[in-house]
Amino acid sequence: MTAIPSGIGTPITGLYGVIAEFSDAQSLLDGATAAQEHGYTELDAFSPFPIHGLAEAVGLPKTRLSLIVLVMGILGGLGGFFMCWYANVIAYPLNIGGKPHNSWPAWIPVTFECAILLAALGTVFGMLALNGLPMPYHPVFNVKRFDQASRDKFFLVIQARDPKFDLYQVRDFLDTLNPREITDVPW
Amino acid sequence: MAIKDQTPLHEVRPTTQELRMVPERYLPTPVVEPGHSFASITDHISTIVLRKKTPIGWLVGFTLALFAVGLLTVSMTMLIGKGVGIWGINHPVGWGMDIINFVWWIGIGHAGTLISAILLLLRQEWRTSINRFAEAMTLFAVASAGLYPALHTGRPWFDYWLFPYPNTMGLWPQFRSPLIWDVFAVSTYATVSLMFWYVGLIPDLATLRDRATNIWIKRAYGAFALGWRGSAKHWYRYEHAYLLLAGLSTPLVLSVHTIVSFDFAVAQLPGWHATFFPPYFVAGAVFAGFAMVLTLAIPARKFFRLEDFITMKHLENMGKILLATGMIVVYAYAMEWFYGLYSGNPFETYMLKNRATGPYWKMYIALWVCNGLAPQLMWFKRFRTSTFWLFVVAMFVNVGMWLERFVIIPASLHRDFLPSSWGMYHGTIWDWSFFIGSIGLFFCLLFLFVRILPMISIFEMRTLLPEAQAHTEEEGAH
Amino acid sequence: MSERKLDFTKFRERVGDLRGKEYWKSLEDLSRSDAFDEFFQSEFPQQALALEKGVDRRSFVKLMGASVAMAGLTSCSRPSETIVPYVNQPENVIPGRPIFFATAMPLAGYARGVLVESHMFRPTKIEGNPDHPSSLGASDAFMQASILGLYDPDRSQVVRKKGEISTWSEFVAAMQPVMAAARSNGAGLRFLTQTVTSPTLGAQMQQLLAQFPGSRWHQWDAAGNHGAREGARLAFGSYVNPVYDFTKANIVVSLGSDFLDEGAGHLRYARDFSSRRRVRRGTTTMNRLYAIESTPSSTGSIADHRLPVKPSEMESIAQQILSGGGSAFVNAIVKDLGANRGAAVIIAGEEQSPRLHALAQAINQAYGNMGATVFVTDSPEPAPVNQLESLRELVRDMHAGVVQSLIVLGGNPLFDAPADFAIERAYNKVGFRAHLSPYYDETSMLSHWHIPETHYLETWGDGRGHDGTVTIMQPLIAPLYNGRSAHEMLGSMLGGLDTSAYAAVRAHWFERGATEEGWRQWLHDGFVAGSALPQRSAAAVAPTTDNRPPTTGIEIILRPDPTILDGRYANNGWLQELPKPQTKITWDNVVLVGPHTAEGFGYGGKERDALVNEKKTRMAVVSYRGKDLRLPVWVVPGHAEGVATISYGYGRTQGGRIANGAGFNTYPIRFSDALTGGGGAQIRLAAESLFPVACTQEHQSIDPKVVGERGIIRNGTFDEYLKNPEFAKHGPHGPLAEDDSMYPAYEYKNHAWAMSIDTSVCTGCNGCVMACQSENNISIVGKEEVVREREMHWLRIDRYYKGSPENPEVFHQPVPCMQCENAPCEPVCPVEATSHNEDGLNDMTYNRCVGTRYCSNNCPYKVRRFNFFHYADYDTPALKPMRNPDVTVRTRGVMEKCTYCVQRINHAKIEAEKENRKVRDGEVTTACQQACPTQAIVFGDKNDKNSLVAQLRAEPTNYALLEELNTKPRTTYLATIRNPNPDLLPAAKPAGEAH
Amino acid sequence: MAQIFHRSANTLSRVTIFGAVFVAGFVLWVVGGIVRSPYFTNQGIQREQPIPFSHQHHVGGLGIDCRYCHTSVEKSSFAGLPPTSTCMNCHSQIWTNAAILQPVRDSYATGKPIRWSRVHRLPDYVHFNHSIHVTKGVGCASCHGRIDRMNLVYQASPLTMEWCLDCHRNPEKQVRPREEVFNMDYVPVNQKQLGPDLVRKYNIKKLTSCSTCHY
């Protein structure tokens, strides 16, 4: 492919997208909404703190995190109980203080803890996995002022792989949102 | 431009002149002093970590803590070399300061997760500026607590037998034992707290990554920031996960001290064998935890000039919690007497009589003073809103909670069922060296934490600012 | 038992082989030489293992100091070790199985028959000989502990000349001129022995005295029963030996006598006495014991009526009884005696005055007990003398310089002779001083020659029991430390071809008509059948009344220490750490006083608190006849007021590593005219001086009310029992249903081991405690650790008081592991280190224990013992062969406890399994049960309805300790029943009232 | 702001996170293997002996019964080691001047026992009784392996607790008729049916209580 900008919808090599910097949350949110109404789909917005509604504005699929956690929790619980039961009933049954081998009430604490543990692990690693983290290298880090994204600046990027992507149109469109600055984001 | 962020603290301090006109008492105390911007918050907190020169105060404190840790290592060598006999434990009293300190620390270790999780679920905004700190405290308290169960055994080098693993003996742990429950509860608690704390740190680590100037420091923070870039989608799942973790931690934090209380409640010793121990212990844990948060937050706030973020509102709220949980604990003490006397069980009755009039009566009285009387000051606003008095009360509670465990453990053991085997318990120098050592370990970790990590959650502070409120049209409409 | 005993002669050769070997010279050599390893490992593989392991652990523990990382690696460091067979395997020896030999233990001269368990010719355990009249299978603490005495590494190991290492042959050479000189005129040659009952030794002495005309034989035993001996002469005109038959005695009056716990026949007497005291279904009669004494004793502690009196009042009370009138107490006795003519025993204590003994016999005479319950025989001693006068004479001659050479056979006169004899000065005037003794002690120090004496398990010998029964003592092991016996000493002086003890004893008896078969029979049985001395008719005459002036000030009683006696057992760690029967003090001697006397000199509440809280008492200064003695004060309920009891035997300076520095030497206030003490003493508290006393059970903290409301001790009178046998059934919370549990009870189909302890007959004598220690390799921990409440005894004897501190009722309650069916200790153990076995035993698996101590915390009976430090001695080679190879030696950091002697149970089960049968009742005896003189402890299978234990558990007086906890203990108790005289009861107390 | 990590860091970081899990698992697996290896169990290790006594020759070759030397195996916990005299019973007649037997003759002459190096060794806290196992029909070979084929004796079984338990839990898999106990090359015909019968016949209990071996 050539580096010369070509027709609409054709991705450009070496270009990740075009990014616009805003200095307040409201204009980022508005911008993102506008971009979506304008028909762009491959959007992403960056902010120093979670902004309510922004995710929807950049179009987010329903997350399956809760499901993962539920499953892990159940697995943990079953696993925990099985461990106790197996160890004290199957593997080596002993008469402990006249209590029956399967003193199930005594298994409850361990069962519970195991459930929580696995659920929590599921939560954290699930979240990271869904977010595609860790990702220490990312194109947006090429943007000079992007380090402000973790301070007090807000960014909206329209990715080059957006079917509607056209470098000039995108630039123009972003300009209409009167951002602080517009930059091309190289790969 | 990063250089510009390295400006000394006092220049960042906001001025709130117009507010000064109005008498203090008519003002609602906010969770962040006005006049702050995203930038100022970010810079103020991250600068504490990133500034080049380390304050003398920090160095001094850290060194002291290190000495204590040295003492701990010496004590550990003694213990493993000679045996637990170096402690004051004996035949009626099999557990002494080892388990007292364990329960004391683990109790303290409850505030953090509680503040983060429960208050988050309860949408208590004011938690924001203290949760990070409290969580760190939790972790380090749990670390100190963990020392004791691990080392109090007669043959610590066989501790791994407490974990379930396939072995050539064909043996497994005995899952009826509360000690095994402890193993699971405490390790789970440690793991989950750590993850909760770390997840909370990720965006701030990104902030530090971006603020730092030195490439290696950038890389260091960057590595742990996992490449966080504040993407909206990430934020969305992140908040989701954070909420879920909170939801999981809440029952966990309750379960942990419940299970610790089982160590005693499940036994049949008069003074241990009581059904109300779980709630009583949990309340005690919160009580102790908040006391410790106050003990640490008040000086830290002064030292690092964090008055704007840890405002009087926070301190006052914690004061209220002290009062509330304190009352629960006192209620438990009272119920102990009720059960004891109402049951007519001679063992229970004698146990209480012995607490009040036996050889350890001084301890018991002191316990009531520290945990019963001292918190009553919190009824009054002028004490609640005075850092001095808050600190004093907090110290009383710290001591009181230690005494509570002393009264429960040795003071119950030393006179149990058969008078023939009654005895006495006195901590030895090594008991104390361990205690001091564990405190040293705790502070050592704490000092490191405040030096290399933001002790206040930056991104959450940002959300507290009015500018953080953005609305989509449909919302804006109404 | 008897079929396990074995004809001995086979292995005598073997011992003979070892005898001469050079490497026996000293223990140090031993431990270095290969021969040593061979000696142990060859015949002792299991033990050898234990040793190796021990070494591992020890070095491991050292490593542990360095780093935690090393943890757990111990298991993989397996040294390649050697295992060594016999060259010629002795017959009758099955490797790995113990055999039992019969012999006798001489104590204060008198022999008690014992059976010695020998693992591959290594004596490991002493039991009583069931057939021996002085033992009947019972054993006391001294018998049990004597095994430690055998292996004691501090025993003297070489002949010494003026302290320098020398040899036996040099000594014999050195004797020649002495004997040569004495042959013409032996006046300068003297022998000093302790009390002697050995016929052989007696005969040897006589020969010597004949050989050296004019030479003299003196006897001195610091704790020898001087009073009894002289009393007998006073009453009967000659040195005779009264023997009592308590089986026929309905009434027993003890005049300061501890006949249940001291004296040559106490094991037998305790057995006989208890046979009339056990209350079972259908029992209609019970004997009654009146104890009149000053210092609380075991006998007094189980008496139905006890009267604390000053020693000076003792004789007058006896006089009153004789003359038939006096205080209510006396009248009651007189009435009872009258009603039981010929069926009562009046017995005076060994430490009591000759007059009292004479009076006691006169009373027996008056009430027709003579010949009915009291018999008189000739003295078992070949040459009974007034030992005090005998020693006085010797010392006088030594001072006078008449004595040129003195041969001291045993004993430690320079330590235990009366203070006013100044014996040390006298001794140094003697030109040739030879001392035979097991330790290089105070006397040896000042002797020209010291010869190590053999332990009784190392030598041939003989001796007479309390009734004169002869036992031929046979060695079970070659002398470990190259020792010589008295027989050899004398033999070498008498000359002849074979001067060995074997030759001497054998010759003595074969001259007196022994036959080879007979001899074998004697050795096999452990006594010479029918050798008891014949009764002789004798009439006791009451002594003339003497009118001594009443004493002033505090009266001092001097008596041998209850556990280390006159000091001879001072280096025996087991006995040092054994709680003294009445005071529960270890490692020390104190001055015992009654509560009021104590308050009298200012020992009050403050001091008591210090005792309860810090285990520290105050030092007192005892001023007696111009001497000041500093001793710790100890208050004993029931101690006569105005009287202070001080025991002698402590304060050794040359007793060995354990003996030295323990306690206080009280001999300096023992004067020849008042061997058992006297009046005129003052006691004052020393200036602020707290002294830690290692007491395992100080009573000050115990509120009697607590003991009562918890139903720990349950007691009643015989009359109450007859009215309502069930009086002890109800605990504080009423009776308990069999299965008050949310879980179904376990079924123990095969065996269900159980123990029943009859508190009525327990005298608290400690025999069981010591037997347990010996059987189960229980470590001692030392005074400091006992002060810190870390003693390791698996079996303890709890002692409770009831009533006024001036004269309380005393109750003894032996507490082993209760072996609960619902054991509280088990569910709390995280690693399954304690669990139940198929017979319902509460197992303790030492090697699995990580030492959380949770089980101990949760044990309501506090019977679990924890190794806070590395108590077990893996280092001392000499102690290794002593240990029971069937019981693991516990390491640091593990919990241990009573196992019902599971090693014995398993052995019996295996033997039964091999014959495809069940274990028979009585086939398994626990160590404590076997030792108990009064048979208070019974063990067996409660599933077997005919077993004794099952029947006892069905007794109406059977109760479980803390039964309301529903732990379902396998160990249960029979309530204490006493038989007080209705005339002396203030008012009948409600049945089953506990205190 | 410049990139602080190279592109490859992305893959790298993910690999490390998930890799860690597998590494941990692997380590545990290795440790588990090691504690069961001869290094720990001493299984199959031949030891230097003062005299290269060959069971293969004496048992396998000459067919001497185990009990001829290990006399107490039926009576005692300890199977017993042959005294030198036992060796001399034969070797005073045959091979009377074989150099290899010099130590035996020396021992017999001097009375100094032969010091074999121990092959089977249980810790001191394990109490094993030969006689009961023999009586209940546990063959020598079941634990000691084919001694008759060993030139120098080595420990055939791991002697770990789980190994003991395996038989204590399922004796029917191992027991053989009493008369076959000392038979080295006994091969069970249909153990499935014989085993349970013997268990019933010999009244064999499945003892897995701790105090069966530890006390």
Q: Tens digits of per-residue pLDDT, B154-203?
A: 999 999 999 998 888 989 999 999 999 999 999 999 999 999 999 999 99
Residue A166 is predicted with a pLDDT of 84
CA–CA distance from C175 to each of C434, C448, C453, C489 (Å)? 9, 11, 17, 10
Contacts of C38 in chain D (CB under 8 A): 112-113, 115
B222:D4 CB<8 A: yes
Distance from CA of D16 to the nearest CA of B (A): 12
Instruction: Write b or e for each residue in B212-225: b if 16 or more Cβ atoms lie within 10 A of its Cβ, otherwise e.
Output: beeeebbbbbbbbb
Residue A44 lies in a domain: yes
- C746–chain A Cβ distance below 8 A for any pair: yes
- Residues 57..86 of A with a Cβ closer than 8 Å to B: which? 57-58, 60, 63, 65-66, 69, 73, 80, 83-84, 86
A123:B230 CB<8 A: no
Residues above pLDDT 70, as percent of chain D: 100
Nearest C-alpha neighbor of C771 from the set C541, C654, C652, C936: C936
d(CA B180, CA B173): 7
B171:C796 CB<8 A: no
Strand positions, DSSP E, C385-445: 405-409, 432-437
Contacts of C827 in chain A (CB under 8 A): 96-97, 99, 106
Give the mutation candidate from C4, C83, C776 for the D interface (greatest D CB count, under 10 A): C83
Q: Report pLDDT digits (tens) over D52-95.
A: 899 999 998 898 999 999 988 998 888 888 888 889 989 988 88
Number of domains in chain A: 2
Q: Which of A94, A96, A98 sits opposite C745 (nearest CB)?
A: A98
C50:D75 CB<8 A: no
Q: Which domain holds residue A69?
A: 65-130
- C854–chain B Cβ distance below 8 A for any pair: yes
* Average pLDDT taken over every residue of chain A: 86
d(CA C472, CA C456): 11
Two tokens, residue B11: 């220049």
C846:D214 CB<8 A: yes
Residues A85 and A104 in one domain: yes
Contact D139, D186 (CB under 8 A): yes
Which range is least confidently modeled, A84-88, C354-358, D41-45?
Answer: D41-45
Place of tokens 């006046």: C187
Nearest C-alpha neighbor of B126 from the set B308, B292, B314, B316: B314
- A149–chain B Cβ distance below 8 A for any pair: yes
Number of domains in chain B: 1
Residue C83 is predicted with a pLDDT of 74
Query: Longest Cα pair distance anywhere in chain C, in angstroms?
Result: 91
Distance from CA of D138 to the nearest CA of A (A): 23
Residue B193 lies in a domain: no
Contacts of D165 in chain B (CB under 8 A): 170
Place of tokens 């053989």: D176
**Region A126-135: what's the mean pLDDT?**
90
d(CA A165, CA B248): 43
Q: Give the list of residues 6+ apart from residue A97 with CB closer than 8 angstroms, or none.
A: B176, C820, C822, C823, C824, C825, C826, C827, C836
Residue A7 lies in a domain: no
pLDDT along chain C (995 residues), means of 10: 38 37 29 37 35 33 28 36 72 78 90 89 90 91 93 92 90 89 86 93 92 91 89 91 93 94 92 93 91 94 94 90 88 92 92 91 92 92 92 93 92 92 92 93 93 92 92 89 90 84 91 89 89 86 74 90 92 94 92 92 84 86 92 93 94 91 92 89 88 85 79 90 86 58 84 94 94 94 92 93 89 94 94 93 94 94 94 85 90 94 94 91 93 94 93 92 89 94 70 42
C–D CB contacts, 8 A cutoff, strictly below: 152
Distance from CA of C735 to the nearest CA of A (A): 21
d(CA C374, CA C236): 13
**CB neighbourhood size of C747 (10 A):** 7
Contacts of C87 in chain D (CB under 8 A): 83-85, 107-108, 111-113
- D32–chain B Cβ distance below 8 A for any pair: yes
Tell how strand C98-107 and strand C110-119 pair up: antiparallel
Residue C796 is predicted with a pLDDT of 94
Specify burial of residue C719 (Cβ count, 10 A radius: 0-12, 13-18, 19+): middle
d(CA B12, CA B163): 52
Distance from CA of B161 to the nearest CA of C (A): 7
B–C CB contacts, 8 A cutoff, strictly below: 188
**Region B314-331: what's the mean pLDDT?**
91
Distance from CA of C926 to the nearest CA of A (A): 23
- D160–chain C Cβ distance below 8 A for any pair: no
CA–CA distance from B78 to each of B395, B434, C366 (Å)? 31, 11, 71
Q: Which domain holds residue B318?
A: 33-114+126-163+263-468
CA–CA distance from C729 to each of B230, C721, C957 (Å)? 77, 12, 7
Residue B179 is predicted with a pLDDT of 94
Q: Which of C820, C822, C835 sits opposite A94 (nearest CB)?
A: C835
Q: Which of D113, D122, D203 sits opposite C42 (nearest CB)?
A: D113
> Which CATH number goes with the domain that contains A22?
3.30.70
Report CA A1 to chain centroid distance, whole Å: 31
Nearest C-alpha neighbor of C367 from the set C393, C345, C390: C345
Place of tokens 């392996």: D145
d(CA B308, CA B128): 13
Residues of A with CB under 8 A from a CB of D: 92, 94, 134-137, 141-147
Q: Which of A134, A137, A143 sits opposite D7 (nearest CB)?
A: A137
Strand positions, DSSP E, B175-247: none
Which range is least confidently modeled, A6-10, B201-205, B425-429, D135-139?
Answer: A6-10
Residue C544 is predicted with a pLDDT of 77
Contacts of B418 in chain C (CB under 8 A): 710, 712, 798, 815, 860-862, 961-962
Count the alpha carbons within 13 Å of C653 in the hemisphere toward its beta carbon.
10
Q: Which of B170, B226, B463 sits opposite A49 (nearest CB)?
A: B463
- D124–chain B Cβ distance below 8 A for any pair: no
pLDDT band at B323 (very low <50, low <70, confident <90, very high): very high
Task: Tell me the backbone φ, ψ of residue D74, rounded to 5 degrees.
Answer: -95, -10
Q: What is the H or E stretch that residue C470 is in? A: strand C470-473
- C794–chain B Cβ distance below 8 A for any pair: no
Two tokens, residue C829: 């153990």
Q: Give the list of residues 6+ apart from residue D45 with CB closer than 8 angstroms, or none.
A: D38, D154, D155
Which range is least confidently modeled, A161-175, B13-27, C787-801, C815-829?
Answer: B13-27
* Average pLDDT taken over every residue of chain B: 86
Residues A141 and A49 in one domain: yes
Residue A38 is predicted with a pLDDT of 86
Contacts of B236 in chain A (CB under 8 A): 50, 54-55, 60, 63
Q: Which of B166, B171, B222 sits opposite D5 (nearest CB)?
A: B222
Nearest C-alpha neighbor of B270 from the set C824, C737, C700, C821: C824
A114:B184 CB<8 A: yes
Residue B380 lies in a domain: yes
Residues A33 and A72 in one domain: no
**CB neighbourhood size of D102 (10 A):** 11
Residue C580 is predicted with a pLDDT of 93
- D80–chain C Cβ distance below 8 A for any pair: yes
DSSP assignment of C717-759: EHHHHHH-GGGG---TT----TT-SSSPPP---S--EEEEEET
Residue A163 lies in a domain: yes
Two tokens, residue D37: 């290896």
Contacts of D203 in chain C (CB under 8 A): 913, 916
Residue A9 lies in a domain: no
Residue C937 is predicted with a pLDDT of 95
Give the mutation candidate from A127, A148, A153 for the B interface (greatest B CB count, under 10 A): A127
pLDDT beyond 80 at B414: yes
Contacts of C862 in chain B (CB under 8 A): 91-92, 416-418, 421
Residue B242 lies in a domain: no
Give the mutation candidate from C746, C855, C967 for the A interface (greatest A CB count, under 10 A): C746
Distance from CA of C147 to the nearest CA of D (A): 22
Residue A170 is predicted with a pLDDT of 87
Strand positions, DSSP E, chain A: 15-22, 43-46, 154-159, 181-186
Would you mind telling me the total number of residues written for chain B in this entry? 478
Q: ipTM, 2 decimals?
A: 0.90
Residue B5 lies in a domain: no
Q: CA-nearest residue of chain C to B180? A: C830
DSSP assignment of C205-249: HHHHHHHSTT-EEEE--TTS-HHHHHHHHHHHSS-EEEEE-GGG-
Residue A8 lies in a domain: no
Residue C991 is predicted with a pLDDT of 41
Residue A177 lies in a domain: yes
Residue B389 lies in a domain: yes
Q: Which of A94, A135, A144 sits opposite D1 (nearest CB)?
A: A144
Q: Which of B153, B422, B424 sits opposite C852 (nearest CB)?
A: B153
**Region B6-23: what's the mean pLDDT?**
42
**CB neighbourhood size of B415 (10 A):** 29
Residue C79 is predicted with a pLDDT of 46
Contacts of D5 in chain A (CB under 8 A): 136-137
Contacts of D72 in chain C (CB under 8 A): 94-97
B–D CB contacts, 8 A cutoff, strictly below: 31
Q: Report pLDDT digits (tens) over B376-390.
A: 999 998 899 888 999
Residue B298 lies in a domain: yes
Task: Tell me the backbone φ, ψ of residue C635, rounded to 5 degrees.
Answer: -90, 125
pLDDT band at B304 (very low <50, low <70, confident <90, very high): confident
- DSSP-assigned letter for residue D53: -
C892:B155 CB<8 A: yes
d(CA B262, CA B277): 8
C906:D212 CB<8 A: yes
Residues A125 and A70 in one domain: yes
